[in-house]
Amino acid sequence: MNRRTMGKTLLGLAGAAAVALSVGTAAAQDKLKVGFVYVGPISDHGYSYQHDQGRLAVEKALGDKVATTYVENVPEGADAERVIEQLAASGHKLIFTTSFGFMNPTLKVAQRYPDVKFEHATGYKRAANVATYSARFYEGRTVVGAIAGKMTKSNVIGYVASFPIPEVVSGINAFTIALREQNPKAEVRVVWVNSWYDPGKETEAAMALIDQGADVIVQHTDSPAPIQTAQDRNLWSVGQSSDMTRFGPKSHLTAIVDDWNGYYIDRVKAVLDGSWKAVDTWGGFKDKMLFLAPYNPAIPADVVALADQIKADIMSGKRHSFQGPVKDQSGKVVIPEGKSATDEQILKMDWYVEGVQGKVPK
């Protein structure tokens, strides 16, 4: 091939690419473009993975009407605004920002793109075109607490926790209330690792708790390392965000699994038929925003029945995770008999209930 023909070939290729590109955009224009922003890698098999499962469910359900894009590993900071802006500028009409730290960047970009709809997970600031959504994960912790209360022999539960924010603290409390309802002698020991994801440190925390006598390890961090540690020591564990059974088949009692599939499909449909509104959604078991991973076959049938009953009662509204009387560590009744914690109380929770050792770090 001489230089001239090569030049021509290149020109031809460029022309073909340009045509392909314009066809691509034309096709995309007919479809609703939906963007997703994740804080972690979709391969984390935990939090971001579950959000991406939701995206895939949208593709599967509405694939002929939507085109989805995702950006993973987006740090919670100035970079997030750039990524969200990029999605908005490239024609995405609905954008899900899936981590708490994306709150302010989402609102800033939303102001500049009033015709784009935004959905921010786990936040509390809304606007005309910004909706918020989250799941009542504490409901899952209530069921898990009851199971742990029945399974523990040492009456010490080890809790590997990430950061002392209300979501995690309310989870510890919901767990402890249900635990002690089944087993008043049981206590919860909490170790904060100050990270969402550090397998080494999560293992060290689980080991420390086990050495102090814990025989059930519960976690509110994202890696399956605590499950592996518990499996190694022939003790029980509870998974977080996704089904972690394969990391400790003997140890894994169940896991509290996030499920965004139904919500994401509903919201995309709402945009498609024009009924979308900037509302706040905080759903639990009944809204199918979380579920429990398959129970370990080693759990006795009566405990499974108990767990299922508690779950059913939560779904029917017969039972609330923070149903009075709830006492704090000093024995003071914070939620009186006959009442349940308000959403506001749960969203601002910064105190431990009776039965948790230590103090909430301030």
Partner 1 sequence: MSAELSLIGPILAAMLAAATPLLFAALGELVVEKSGVLNLGVEGMMLVGAVCGFAVTVKTGSAPMGLLAAATAGAATAALFGLLTLGLLANQVATGLALTLFGVGLSALIGQAFVGIPLKGLPKLNIPGLTDLPVIGQALFGQDLLVYLAILAVPLVHLFLYRTRAGLVLRAVGENHAAAHALGYKVIRIRFLAVLFGGAMSGLGGAFLSMDYTPMWAENMTAGRGWIALALVVFATWKPLRVMLGAWLFGGVTIAQLHVQGLGVDVPSQLLSMLPYLATVLVLVLISRDVARTRLNAPACLGKLFHPDA
Query: In Å, how far from its chain's centre is CA 129?
Result: 23
166 binds partner 1, rule: CB under 8 A: no
CA 194/CA 325 separation, integer angstroms: 31
29 binds partner 1, rule: CB under 8 A: no
Q: In the complex, what is the shortest distance from the CB of residue 241 to partner 1, in angstroms, rounded to a whole number?
A: 12
Q: Which of 94, 103, 205, 303 binds partner 1 (CB under 8 A)?
A: 205
Nearest to partner 1 of 50, 134 (CB atom): 50
Q: Which residues contact 188 (CB under 8 A, 6 or more apart)?
A: 157, 159, 172, 175, 176, 179, 355, 356, 357
168 by DSSP, 3-state: which?
helix
198 binds partner 1, rule: CB under 8 A: yes
> Six-digit token pair at 112?
């500049």
Q: Which of 33, 35, 45, 93 binds partner 1 (CB under 8 A)?
A: 45
In one letter, which amino acid is 350? D
Secondary structure element (H or E) that encloses residue 327, with its range: strand 326-327
CB count within 10 Å of CB 136 equals: 22
Q: In the complex, what is the shortest distance from the CB of residue 73 to partner 1, in angstroms, rounded to a whole number?
A: 8
246 binds partner 1, rule: CB under 8 A: yes
Window contacting partner 1 (CB under 8 A); options: 201-209, 253-261, 271-279, 341-349: 201-209
Report which of 286, 279, 276 is spatially closest to residue 317, judged by C-alpha positions: 286
Within positions 142 to 161, which residues make up the interface with partner 1, using CB under 8 A? Answer: 158
Window contacting partner 1 (CB under 8 A); options: 16-24, 86-94, 177-185, 352-360: 352-360
Give the footprint of partner 1 on this chain (CB under 8 A): 41, 43-45, 158, 164, 189-195, 197-205, 207-209, 211-212, 214, 223-225, 228, 232, 246-248, 357-359, 361-362
